Chain A
Amino acid sequence: MIRSELLQEMAEAHPQMRPEEIEQVVDIFFEEIGARLAEGGRVELRGFGAFSTRPRDARTGRNPRTGQAVDVPAKRVPYFKPGKEMRDRLKVV
């Protein structure tokens, strides 16, 4: 499923809404999640899962092309943990 397919299914589920409105709603949804993570916060969507960020220490990396050492600064990386309901729904039958 890609974004446009999600919009399509949203439109079918909410026929009273205009496609542009659906698009804005979906944009707000993902934008708000990204914004909260960028602030260092957490996002918890019961049944689906939880988004958070985790710290990564600074390290010395290498340019894979030249082999030259480069300093990679400490940073935060996104993390997602699927919820129990989601995990159960993925079960292979």
Chain B
Amino acid sequence: MDMMRSIGTLTRADLAETINRKMGFSRTESLALVETILERMCHALSEGENVKISGFGSFVLRDKKERIGRNPKTGIEVPITPRRVMTFRASQKLKDRIAQTG
């Protein structure tokens, strides 16, 4: 889509690799650490708690009321059940860092 895509995608394995290299923990341990970070954040969010990481950003929960939607194919109206959604608000620091990419 845009040329920026050519820079590869960072995954759990890459994060574990960096932890392994910088901290000297085994690959298995490093991967377990990455998994715990994600699992604890997931857990807090699933309990209805926002997650705020200073210098990075906040994961904010929002409750949506029920509304009427439409099946785009058939045009039939269907109720969209009330739900909780999660949004990410980057910190000013992260925004500034990314804005400079141009």
Contacts and interface: CB of A to CB of B under 8 A. Distances in A.
A45 B33 CA distance: 14
Interface residues of A, number: 50
Q: How large is the interface on B (under 10, 10 to 19, 20 to 34, 35 or more residues)?
A: 35 or more
Nearest to A26: B37
Describe A's contact surface by its main secondary structure. Answer: mixed
26 contacts: A1-B40, A2-B53, A3-B52, A5-B44, A14-B36, A25-B23, A28-B23, A29-B19, A30-B53, A32-B10, A32-B14, A32-B18, A37-B97, A39-B7, A41-B9, A41-B10, A42-B10, A43-B9, A45-B38, A49-B86, A55-B2, A74-B102, A76-B98, A78-B95, A90-B45, A90-B84
